[in-house]
Amino acid sequence: MGALSIKQIHKSFNATTQVLKGIDLEIEKGEFLILVGPSGCGKSTLLSMIAGLDAPTSGRIFIGERDVTDLPSKDRDIAMVFQSYALYPNMTVARNIAFGLEIRKIPKAEREAAVQRVAQMLQIGHLLDRKPGQLSGGQRQRVAMGRALARDPVLFLFDEPLSNLDAKLRVEMRAEIKQLHLRTRTTTVYVTHDQVEAMTLGDRIAVMKDGLVQQFGTPAQIYRQPANRFVAEFIGSPA
Ligand code: ADP
Ligand code: MG
């Protein structure tokens, strides 16, 4: 069994519309998986099921061997980074990074070591005493990643984390996320609607449309052998 197994996930919010129509995915340990697809296809809904923020209508989710479908989010050992970074405005950067550890009653010395470790990794050591309001957008996004990294989770979830940044910063942060993954090898699910981001970051890519995975493969497979016309057009493969 892989690091994350998604088995026949269905999700309806009401009687008439089914948002997820039977998603199956098997993600290997250390893999960087991209979920890509047009707006409204169900990417964030699927991610929130993996995170345990919402329950599927049917289907099961396994993290490693463990069936986590009925476990609350806090017991899943995952860390999330969203588009809105939601840092605590009244806390310093250092405390923002350490806060998840504080809640889990991790001792102070260990928290401080974690803050130093991620600050070095993300080059934000000089920002630790500042408040989020004193940071640029890119710096805030780094702190949000630092907060996730401090936990050293089994699974990282990203939901369009770069979409609020300008184009130049987006390209920079993309490269940093790649580097970070190469260094930590934490299994990652990364949601984007950006084809370039998908092709440059993903070990494998799941292309979604209308609540179904249209194709699941490496960037090269998807580019060279798109499963259907939708995938070809979405990814921009030669006809
Ligand atoms: P994506 O992240 O791919 O843009 P979403 O997963 O956010 O798409 O949404 C997929 C569909 O589910 C959309 O049609 C959206 O309106 C609907 N949806 C998402 N969350 C809810 C909710 N809490 N209640 C009702 N409909 C929802
Ligand atoms: Mg979304």
pLDDT digits (tens, 9 = 90+) for 38-90: 999 999 999 999 999 999 999 999 999 999 999 999 899 999 888 776 899 99
């984390």: which residue's tokens? 161
157 in contact with ligand 1, CB cutoff 6 A: no
Any bridge partners for residue 36, and if so which? 192, 207
Q: Give the tens place of pLDDT for each residue, 7-39.
A: 999 999 998 889 999 999 999 999 999 999 999
Q: Give the burial string for 115-129 (b: 16+ CB within 10 Å, else e).
A: beebbebbebeebbe
pTM attached to this predicted model = 0.91
17 in contact with ligand 1, CB cutoff 6 A: no
> Which residues are CB-contacts of 44 (< 8 A; sequence separation ≥ 6)?
159, 191
* Protein residues within 5 Å, CB atom, of ion ligand 2: 44
- Which of 126, 141, 136, 124 minimizes the C-alpha distance to 177? 141
Average pLDDT, the chain: 92
Task: Ligand 1, residue 48: give the atom nearest the CA.
Answer: 6
In angstroms, what is the span from residue 12 Cα to ligand 1's centroid?
10
- Which of 155, 135, 181, 160 minimizes the C-alpha distance to 66? 155
Closest ligand by atom to 48 CA: 1
Share of the chain above pLDDT 90, in %: 71
Q: What's the CA gap between 207 and 82, in Å, rounded? A: 20
44 in contact with ligand 1, CB cutoff 6 A: yes
DSSP 23-52: EEEEE-TT-EEEEE-STTSSHHHHHHHHHT
Task: Ligand 1, residue 47: give the atom nearest the CA.
Answer: 6
Query: Long-range contacts of range 94-102, CB-CB < 8 Å, 24 or more positions apart?
Result: 94/119, 94/128, 94/129, 96/132, 96/143, 96/146, 96/147, 97/128, 97/143, 97/146, 97/147, 97/150, 98/150, 99/147, 100/147, 100/150, 100/151, 101/150, 101/151
Alpha-carbon separation of residue 88 from 120, 125, 131 (angstroms): 21, 18, 9
- CB count in 10 Å sphere of residue 70: 10
Tokens of 137: 């957008």
Any bridge partners for residue 128, and if so which? none
Q: What is the ipTM for the molecules in this complex?
A: 0.98
16 in contact with ligand 1, CB cutoff 6 A: no
192 in contact with ligand 1, CB cutoff 6 A: no
Q: What Rg, from alpha-carbon coordinates, does the chain have?
A: 18
Task: Give the confidence band of 152 by pLDDT, cuts at 50, 70, 90.
Answer: confident
88 in contact with ligand 1, CB cutoff 6 A: no
Q: Where are the alpha helices (DSSP H) in 87-238?
A: 93-103, 108-122, 137-150, 167-184, 195-201, 219-224, 229-235
Characterize the bridge pairing of strands 78-82 and 204-209. Answer: unpaired
43 in contact with ligand 1, CB cutoff 6 A: yes
Share of the chain above pLDDT 70, in %: 98
Any bridge partners for residue 190, and if so which? 34, 158
In angstroms, what is the span from residue 17 Cα to ligand 1's centroid?
10
